[in-house]
Amino acid sequence: MMNFGGLDGQYASLEGADFVVIPVPYDLTSSYEPGSRRGPSAMLDASVQLELYDEELCRETFRAGIHTFPYMEPDARGPEQMVDKIHRAVSGVTALEKIPVILGGEHTLAIGAVRAMREQYPGISVLQFDAHADMRDTYQESRYSHACVGRRIWEICPLVQAGVRSMSAECASFIDAKGIRVCPPGIGEDSETWREIIREHLTDDVYVTVDLDVLDPSIMPATGTPEPGGLSWTDILHLIRTVTERCTVRGFDIVELAPIPGMIAPDFTAAKLAYRIMGYIDARYPRGADRQAGTVP
């Protein structure tokens, strides 16, 4: 298996890494187009082609250390058991005071990750980037469907959603009744409103979960449930960077990449997004000894 970024030696070792990549090839509850189980391998393959110097941050993020776990074997008993498996894996990473980076796979995986993060950081909140509200209590007779991710996360800790442009009547009623902050794609163009949302709705510690269908299908067609409209590349980077400048991002995931044979751009976009988020975190809170001089531009 290839390490993220094709790293080896000291920069890929667990001991010296700030970031631990957990690839999870799982998409049991996909309800439209399956294929996100191939997302982790596509992102890792694409990551080898990344320029490891970050032109926005003017630094080499890999020097923070990025260790890659072996692919997690799916639990075929069902999504609840898979959520438990993710929970255990992420708990092991946070116990080492490292930053988990989950590459999925379907969005259900985020539930287990958030449970583990909540145990390690009791005051944590979640920022969910998603085209869909995912606030159903059950879907296809499962409480652990990808369509229920937002609801399960909200039950664990405070939640803010960004980029949402599709929801059921059940989701809309629940969001309204509970006062959950849900931001449409246009939030990417409104810096002051976004900063206000961060101040009022996110806590000091944050976990970021990115369903790639939050991006416009013109740049991210490789998802199982695409929706017209959506955030641009610039939008999502601006929003996430603003969060990392005001909060401590303790971990994140990139999920729902369903690779399209012969179309490599979405795979590379997802890999670069993962690396860029690592860069934002490291530039804001450098922890290891092997760091470049300088600050975030």
Residue ranges of domains in the chain? 13-284
Q: What are phi and psi of 110, to 5 degrees?
A: -65, -25
161 and 130 Cβ atoms separated by less than 8 Å: yes
Non-local (6+) Cβ contacts of 185 within 8 A are 163, 165, 229, 230, 231, 235
What are 212-233's pLDDT values in tens digits?
999 999 999 999 999 999 999 9
Q: Share the mean pLDDT of the chain.
A: 92
Tokens of 284: 């804001």
Non-local (6+) Cβ contacts of 174 within 8 A are 135, 137, 151, 180
Closest by CA position to 250, among listed 129, 115, 99 = 99
User: What CATH number was assigned to the domain covering residues 13-284?
Assistant: 3.40.800.10
Per the listing, tokens 């993060």 go with 117
How many angstroms separate the CA atoms of 148 and 170, rounded?
11
What are 108-138's pLDDT values in tens digits?
999 999 999 999 999 999 999 999 999 999 8
* Centroid of chain to Cα 66: 16
pTM of the predicted model as reported, rounded to 2 decimal places: 0.94
Beta strands (DSSP E) in 184-231 are 205-211
Q: Where are the alpha helices (DSSP H) in 141-218?
A: 149-156, 169-178, 191-201
Tell me which DSSP letter residue 252 carries: E
Non-local (6+) Cβ contacts of 13 within 8 A are 65, 67
Tokens of 150: 């937002």
Tell me which DSSP letter residue 16 carries: T
Per-residue pLDDT of the chain (297 residues; tens, 9 = 90+): 679 999 999 999 999 999 999 999 998 767 677 788 999 999 999 999 999 999 999 999 999 999 999 999 999 898 899 999 999 999 999 999 999 999 999 999 999 999 999 999 999 999 999 999 999 998 887 888 888 999 999 999 999 999 999 999 999 999 999 999 999 999 988 888 999 999 999 999 999 999 999 999 999 999 999 999 999 999 999 999 999 999 999 999 999 999 999 999 999 999 999 999 999 999 987 655 444 444 444
Closest by CA position to 152, among listed 184, 124, 110, 117 = 110
Tokens of 210: 């990115």
How many angstroms separate the CA atoms of 271 and 40, rounded?
9
Compute the CA torsion angle 130, 132, 134, 135 (nearest 10 deg): 110
Dihedral sign for Cα atoms in the order 165, 171, 176, 181:
negative
100 and 88 Cβ atoms separated by less than 8 Å: no
